[in-house]
Chains A and B, each alone.
Chain A
Amino acid sequence: MARAVTTQRKTLNTVIAWGIGLLIFFPILWTILTSFKTEGQAIADPPLFLFFDWTLENYAVVQERSDYMRFLWNSVIIAGGSTLLGIIIAVPAAWSMAFVPSKRTKDILLWMLSTKMLPAVGVLYPIYLLFISLGLLDTRIGLTIVLMLINLPIIVWMLYTYFKEIPGEILEAARMDGASLKEEILYVLTPMAIPGIASTVLLNIILAWNEAFWTLNLTAANAAPLTAFIASYSSPEGLFFAKLSAASTMAIAPILILGWFSQKQLVRGLTFGAVK
């Protein structure tokens, strides 16, 4: 039985929660607003909230001066590529661990997780050196491989927890009805696995898009994604708040939207199934 809640109490909750929510969201809101101001208005005191001359000028300047599209494209390729590659490698692995478990399955899963705990800085120079000798430094393919590897444990784990929930009885029933292995995979398993794979893809794109250790250390001019592009704004040059805001808004907008869709899967993915 649900407890009766007075309207008064609900109103109070609503006011407090919205207040705190807006406070936490404010830096993002402010960045978006500032991106539509002129540089002068961006630093006005008292700050301007809504009543300023809205302009798209900053977006044009950022694109023109630094070729934003190239960085965006690098981010898309690296985040998308590493996710796709990771899924291709992880699906069979997670599949076999979920449906044909052996005594060692648990150990393998935990070991995979342990590779995720390796601090990146501890292996920075070896990777740097390998990248130079293999000609991978500042290439999209090199970064795609590294991001695939650092996120592979999370992909395998997430897929494993999703596949684990597919009841084995359904497979048996299909087999009894005379389905061949191919039909079983195509018509029974795949439709049931798609939602889990989709959420894994979503979370992994977010993680890869925002990764900022390897992307900063292994790229220069050619393969730099948006994380590195934004970092180039760390040395200020005159008035630049509005341009920084425009660049930042463009860098985070796609992932904010994806992220809002994936908030439920986020918990499962980031706690390796320990909290659902």
Chain B
Amino acid sequence: MATQQSRSAARLMMAPAVVLLLGWMLVPLIMTLYFSFKKYLPLRGDSLENGLQWVGFQNYIRFVSSSSFWPSVQTTLIIVGGVLVITVVLGVLLALLLDQPMWGQGVVRILVIAPFFVMPTVSGLVWKNMFMDPINGILAHTWRFFGAEPLQWLSQHSLESIVLIVSWQWLPFATLILLTAIQSLDSEQLEAAEMDGASSLKRFWFIILPHLSRAITIVILIQTIFLLSVFAEIFVTTAGAFGTKTLTYLIFQRVLESQNVGLGSAGGVYAIILANIVAIFLMRIVGKNLDA
């Protein structure tokens, strides 16, 4: 049993981490909230020293009524949804495959996981240039080899291209987690089902998939949080052009490129609310696991 003394020592040991994270969360959050109710255009002479004009909810209204807001929401949904569908479906299939007996399993695993370790700016630029370049890219060579007209990947099929690049980066994550989950499945249960004459499709549908449901949920939630803030891949490929401006990118442009801090901060508050909705579900699952 812990004594009173060890309790206060424990609190002391926790203090630095708690205080730092509290500061890291609260200070910028309060500043963002404050800016979101102010007219703040640093390039036009607004500054904190001279005091900022209070504008109420004007920034919030202007942010959602601007012509780029709804397209950015749509872009965000397409990228997040597209990547989720691709990585989860392919991830399940790949995990099932990697779970089978084969030669060189360890090496295949390494090959499949590798993209996760590539920094986003590298994968963005490698795909943009060496693969999707309409003249010299590998994909253009391939298309020409089959007598087809090479695609203008990042200009005419920009969203599909971004989804492809980001899916390539996140497929390893989904596969690895789902593979770990499959390996924890009790193989006797599967054998029993097999002996009772259940087809492999039935075994997948009634035993494997239900067993994976928790891991799939976790993959979806964690990826959603990271995918909502995809940035570098867009920054180095299209820089937000050709309909690839996500909510994150739109806010970035408002804040740093056009320096409309009030408007961008209102957008930031929307992004924070959105991320929190997803986060609540994730925390529930993680929290449940903590009791066990």
Q: Which residues of A contact B (CB under 8 A)?
A: 1, 3, 5, 9-10, 13-14, 16-18, 20-22, 24-25, 27-28, 30-31, 34, 42-43, 45-47, 89-90, 92-93, 95-97, 99-100, 102, 106, 108-110, 112-115, 117-130, 149, 152-153, 156, 206, 209-210, 212-213, 216-217, 226-228, 230-231, 233-234, 236, 240-241, 244-245, 248, 251-252, 255-256, 258-260, 263, 266-267, 270-276
Contact = CB atoms under 8 A, between A and B. Distances in A.
Contacts of B225: 117
A210 B117 CA distance: 8
B118 interface: yes
Contacts of B109: 21, 263
A233 B119 CA distance: 14
Given A3-B191, A17-B97, A212-B121, A271 B130 contact: no
A114 B283 contact: yes
Given A28-B114, A124-B252, A270 B120 contact: no
9 contacts: A5-B101, A25-B112, A96-B11, A130-B28, A152-B17, A210-B119, A231-B232, A258-B117, A266-B176
- The 6 A-B pairs with the shortest beta carbon distances in the complex, nearest first, are A122-B268, A96-B10, A123-B28, A126-B31, A212-B232, A92-B13
Contact of A251 (B100, B119, B172, B218): B119
Contact of A46 (B107, B130, B141, B282): B141
A21 B175 CA distance: 12
Contacts of B213: none
B63 interface: no
B147 interface: no
A110 B286 contact: yes
Contacts of A113: 283, 286
Contacts of B237: 234
Contacts of B268: 119, 121-125
A126 B111 contact: no
B115 A20 contact: no
Contact of B141 (A9, A47, A231): A47
Contacts of B291: 106
B180 A18 contact: no
B101 A206 contact: no
B103 A10 contact: yes
Interface in B234-292: 235-237, 239, 248, 251-252, 255-256, 261, 264-265, 268-269, 271-272, 274-276, 278-279, 282-283, 285-287, 289-291
B255 A149 contact: no
B173 interface: yes
Contacts of B287: 106, 110
Interface string B32-61: 100100000000000000000000000000
B27 A130 contact: yes
Nearest to B217: A274
Contacts of B285: 274
B122 A275 contact: no
A243 to B, nearest CB: 11
A24 B112 contact: yes
B28 A126 contact: yes
Nearest to B273: A122
B78 interface: no
A115 B232 contact: no
A27 B116 CA distance: 12
B153 interface: no
